[in-house]
Amino acid sequence: MPPPPPPPPGPAPKPSGPAYKHDGSDLNSVLFARVDKVEAIEPVRPSTPPDFGPEVFHEVHFDWINASDLYNLLQRAPVAISSVSRRLVFLILDAPCPPQFGSQLLVIDVRSNAAYDSEHVRSSISVDWEALECADMLDCEATVHQRFWHRRFFNVVLYDDESTPEAEATTLASFSAALQTEKRCSRTVHKLRGGLRQFMEAYPFLVKGHPAFTDAEFPSEIKDGFLFLGSWKSASNLEALKALNITRIVNATASCDMPFDQQAVYLHCPLDDKPDHDLSQFFGDFIAFVRKAQGEGQRVLVHCQMGMSRSSALAILWMMDFHDMTLKQAYDYVHSKRPYINPNPGFLKQLGEWEHANRGSSTIRFPEDDAPITLITPYEWLQADGTWKMRVLKHQ
């Protein structure tokens, strides 16, 4: 008699976590979607600063920045990236991982605690320098906000009521001298020209205590009072758009909605963030759209999903066209206002072709072969001394 048949197989084991399905999103969007999930978990930070070894001392230098510079610094600060995601960022950014990936900004209000409690720049801390009367900066660390310790590594911005380089108040000058004496700040320390008064005139919505204050995400300001560059999150926040008086919007995506067509004029450039996508087909319409806005005194926001590739390429084009910059100059300028831009190589190649057609030469060059442009295609930038420097991907 034959043996009985084997029992049917049981159900397949369930995966331990949800399967990841690539939906065609560009690399930047995928990366930041995963970062959002990781960073949604509130980290538990120690009550005492980490031990980085012995103190390192530096000559401390100072400069003065305008209100728009601080505005842009504040737009970088909220982003934090886990150690795993940080390694991915090194792979895709054409620069070392920039300071804003980790909220490395320390804004210090040196006015009185009472003045700070009334109104202060968003995310700043109070160091009431006159009241503290500290013999040493280390003594202050025990009495002020614990973030003051991070002056050693972070970008530091100081402000008072209304100091300028020509008329610096005693308190700001004294606090600056103390930082210079202790030599613990590793980066150039910035002083806010015009202080809180001038900043509040331009950006009241970023001053806590002001009736217009909001915690909304705002775009970066590329040209003061005119051209802004941001993500879909900032473009979909009507409160932010009204605060900045933005009435024209360039949507550089194929997927994002245009929800405020009653409040703003849109130009739709349906782009995918892929190196082989034809960015140049929108050059003429984009330049005409922005020129018309400028002629009518209107403000323009250019956005894509993350404000890194598609929209940054168009912002670079505007700087090349209207301000007669080379591609390298325009890239560096936009990068200085929003350091995490990352236009893909295909877009840069098309911008280089536009530059060559309009200027007779280009400041970027690609391999002279027929290989398709990809995210890792090498290219070179023309340097000021006439040499060429290869773009290098950073590996971990």
Task: Show which residues are catalytic.
Answer: 304
Q: Using an 8 Å Cβ cutoff, are 313 and 282 in contact?
A: no
Helix, strand, coil % over all residues of the chain, rounded to 5: 35, 15, 50
Could you give the CA distance from residue 302 to residue 344 in angstroms, rounded to a whole number?
A: 17
Residue 72 tokens, joined: 């842009």
**CA atoms lying within 13 Å on the CB side of residue 259:** 11
Q: Using an 8 Å Cβ cutoff, are 55 and 184 in contact?
A: yes
Could you give the CA distance from residue 159 to residue 27 in angstroms, rounded to a whole number?
A: 38
Exposure letters 283-311 (e unless 16+ CB within 10 A, then b): beebbebbeebbeeebbbbbbbbbbbbbb
HEC sequence for 134-199:
CCCHHHHHCCCCHHHHHHHCCEEEEECCCCCCCCCCHHHHHHHHHHHHHCCCCCCEEEECCHHHHH
Residue corresponding to tokens 């002083």: 191
319-327, Cβ contacts within 8 angstroms, sequence gap of 24 or more: 319/222, 320/351, 320/354, 320/355, 320/358, 321/287, 321/358, 322/287, 322/290, 322/291, 322/294, 326/355, 326/359, 326/363, 326/382, 327/351, 327/352, 327/355, 327/362, 327/363, 327/364
Alpha-carbon 98 to chain mean position: 9
* Rounded alpha-carbon distances, angstroms, from residue 46 to 155, 212, 351: 21, 34, 47
Q: Which helix (H) or strand (E) holds 99?
A: none
